[in-house]
Structure 1
């Protein structure tokens, strides 16, 4: 039966409410459900029957997927059902209890990534001077490093994925305001702010000038090419990418005698939470630093 044009348009608008990456992820997971049903010769019934869901969860568990990963499959199916006005069978008691049972029997694996500490940051900044090809590059990497840590930013909020197509979700040149004792950065988008309401993140001047984010950003902006585009950029105005920063970061760790594989770019965020907790910051204060609309910060505390 043909779908009326207005209904198809409405569905497109509903799916457009998701972030691009989420929309792609959900579509792939729903396709996996279809493949599973064909392989198991199950009836092509919609909404997806509870029995099909239960069998699918068991199949995912047998693939050694965690409860957290399986929950994403259920979220995709839940969104599809609600978007089409179907009964949401992912909310069935049996389905939810299966997921809870999996969580209890297979606890969340420990995140082995190590935190970057203030002492390590000072050593890293010194190594940037030896690794970078010019004084400008050293200042660029130092400023980026300190902003990642003191702002507890996600890498995707600060660094571009592509040097030719940076996108509009990273910090922009115009999003940075410098004052005498602080730097204010306007975060336009984040994982917990897909609608782009935005929020100011303030970095305060540090007593230790060697790792002061305000001094580092001021020094960087003084020599950086100005204009529209990402905040962190090379002398030729091309953006600093995730790949480039990670490569230099790992090279600096190796020079310090540290195993690079123990650290990722989220190690700056982990380090921010761990340092704040060690200094006795309250839960509310830690949340305001980088977990702006989420209480998941305790997962990052080491």
Structure 2
């Protein structure tokens, strides 16, 4: 057989142009293949269709003509060598051979002979697994030894081979698109082999080697002192059990006993609410907490318990206090540290709703200087026994001139009281009396507040009233009781006893006693000071007010308003 010169620009086909597959269109190639029993329903390039035709039609025809010495086999081989390298490369990367009808072992040998890299690929569903994806040059492709097979067997073999080639081509394209997607996935990110351990990062000195070793060992770490002293604190070995009682004591002192008791009532109400609604299974533990539960609790207090807005707010404050104390979290703030807006809106709705149907607040009229004078005259007339009259006159004058709240000189109960005014808290001088209050609303840290009451040089004088009471007190009691204000039986003066006695006196004066209470002395002192045209800053000092809320205590009488209007009218003249 003569040697044929091979070039990229010259093709030595002995077939005519109409019989050369390179001159056929894609439609003609598909028709030729269909005529030989190969139906292709997918879009393939011209080069791939031509290669399928050459491998499965012409090569079979060439083998049949080889027995007669035909030269068509050599021409077909030359035609295969002139196929464009780009198309051959495209076909090699796209088509997977499964070994039928071309043996995969011969294909692999051809690939290794042509220095073509072989890549393992997973098996194709429905067919035999392929051992490589790259095809060897056409010169190394083995031909089908089918000289002894019949035409029908050849057609079945050609159809089977073509279908497998098409299926492998489609599967290869699909797998190639998914290769990059599967390269980095959640599974690879969570793999234990992913990443570099911190102990292996030695090139970047972010921290000192000693500190890195301590962190990796999960042990103690060094902390610099005020003078860069080296001190070691073992985090895992910290034990604060001996300080638990101290912390509890500090929590107890953060609020007064009375406030803590009211907070406890609010927490108990919330626990009962959760138990009734089936949300809480144990009384010993704090119930669950969420903004929606708090909204339901507010609605329960408003609709079922008929609680006032101020009481609901007090209960919520109690819930907040105990959750901060026992769980260390503020239930009225979200994770971002912001207030619960929905809860605030519901509370605003409760306030506005109750204001529409609320009963007008009971007014507290002031006990002014004129009323106090009448009260002292009535007490001196013998309406009560001498001890009660002296004690009550001293208490009323001290409350008025000291701008005292009722809870600052009385107690709620004779069995439960704290921080009362004792006999040691009252010191008499020549011109004034020094009274020390152990507790006060404006003294949350219980440092004590000293109030000086001076002589008034009038018939109503707090110094004279206190001196007379102390002298009689020392004569009545051999062993002096510790509280300063006591009854003739020696018991401490409670709020109930004081209010009852006050109402009796006011009723004797012809006044409506229901309009007065223990706070009327503080209101009356501020009102009298304003009528006497005492400067505002002095009124704030006398009443120990830190803001301008003292103006709410001042009751302006109609006569004052009348005089003010007359002065405005006269200024025009």
TM class, shorter-length: 0.7 to 0.9
SS at match of 2:435: strand
Q: Which runs of 5+ in 1 are unaligned?
A: none
Alpha-carbon distance change, 72 to 180 in structure 1, aligned in 2, over 3 angstroms: same
Look up the match of 1:74.
316
Look up the match of 2:294.
53
Alpha-carbon distance change, 68 to 202 in structure 1, aligned in 2, over 3 angstroms: same
User: Quick check: 1:47–1:89 contact (8 Å CA) kept in 2?
Assistant: no
1:146 aligns with 2:397: yes
- Write the distance in 1 (CA, Å) between the matches of 2:545 and 2:406: 15
Alpha-carbon distance change, 282 to 94 in structure 1, aligned in 2, over 3 angstroms: farther
Alpha-carbon distance change, 51 to 161 in structure 1, aligned in 2, over 3 angstroms: closer
> Match for 2:332 among 61, 69, 89?
89
SS at match of 1:147: helix
Q: What TM-score results when the alignment is normalised by the length of structure 1?
A: 0.84
1:41 aligns with 2:293: no
> Match for 1:99 among 343, 347, 353?
347
User: Quick check: 1:291–1:297 contact (8 Å CA) kept in 2?
Assistant: no
Cα deviation, residue 242, structure 1? 3.0
Alpha-carbon distance change, 291 to 92 in structure 1, aligned in 2, over 3 angstroms: farther
> Match for 2:367 among 106, 111, 116?
116
Look up the match of 1:290.
543
Look up the match of 2:112.
none
Cα deviation, residue 235, structure 1? 5.5
Alpha-carbon distance change, 198 to 268 in structure 1, aligned in 2, over 3 angstroms: same
Cα deviation, residue 116, structure 1? 0.8
Alpha-carbon distance change, 55 to 8 in structure 1, aligned in 2, over 3 angstroms: farther
SS at match of 2:459: helix
SS at match of 1:224: helix
Cα deviation, residue 160, structure 1? 4.0
Alignment of 1:1-302 (within 5 A): 9=245, 12-13=248-249, 15-17=251-253, 18-42=255-279, 48-62=289-303, 63-83=305-325, 84-89=327-332, 91-107=339-355, 110-129=361-380, 130-134=382-386, 136-162=387-413, 165=415, 167-207=417-457, 209-225=458-474, 227=480, 229-234=482-487, 237-292=490-545, 296-302=549-555
- Write the distance in 2 (CA, Å) between the matches of 1:61 and 1:280: 44
User: Quick check: 1:47–1:88 contact (8 Å CA) kept in 2?
Assistant: no
- Write the distance in 2 (CA, Å) between the matches of 1:224 and 1:102: 52
Alpha-carbon distance change, 248 to 6 in structure 1, aligned in 2, over 3 angstroms: same
User: Quick check: 2:363–2:515 contact (8 Å CA) kept in 1?
Assistant: yes
User: Quick check: 1:203–1:213 contact (8 Å CA) kept in 2?
Assistant: yes
Task: Say which is worse superposed, 97-106 or 265-274, in terms of deviation.
Answer: 97-106
- Write the distance in 1 (CA, Å) between the matches of 2:539 and 2:496: 28
Cα deviation, residue 122, structure 1? 0.9
- Write the distance in 2 (CA, Å) between the matches of 1:198 and 1:186: 7
Q: CA RMSD in A?
A: 2.9
SS at match of 1:274: helix
- Write the distance in 1 (CA, Å) between the matches of 2:277 and 2:535: 51
SS at match of 2:404: coil
Cα deviation, residue 177, structure 1? 2.2
Could you list the per-position Cα deviations for residues 193-247 of structure 1 after superposition, in whole angstroms to 9, with x for gaps in the alignment? Answer: 343210111223224x222212222222233228461122346644333333323
Q: What TM-score results when the alignment is normalised by the length of structure 2?
A: 0.47
Alpha-carbon distance change, 275 to 98 in structure 1, aligned in 2, over 3 angstroms: farther
- Write the distance in 2 (CA, Å) between the matches of 1:264 and 1:78: 32
Cα deviation, residue 141, structure 1? 1.3
- Write the distance in 2 (CA, Å) between the matches of 1:157 and 1:295: 21
Task: Say which is worse superposed, 278-287 or 196-205, in terms of deviation.
Answer: 278-287
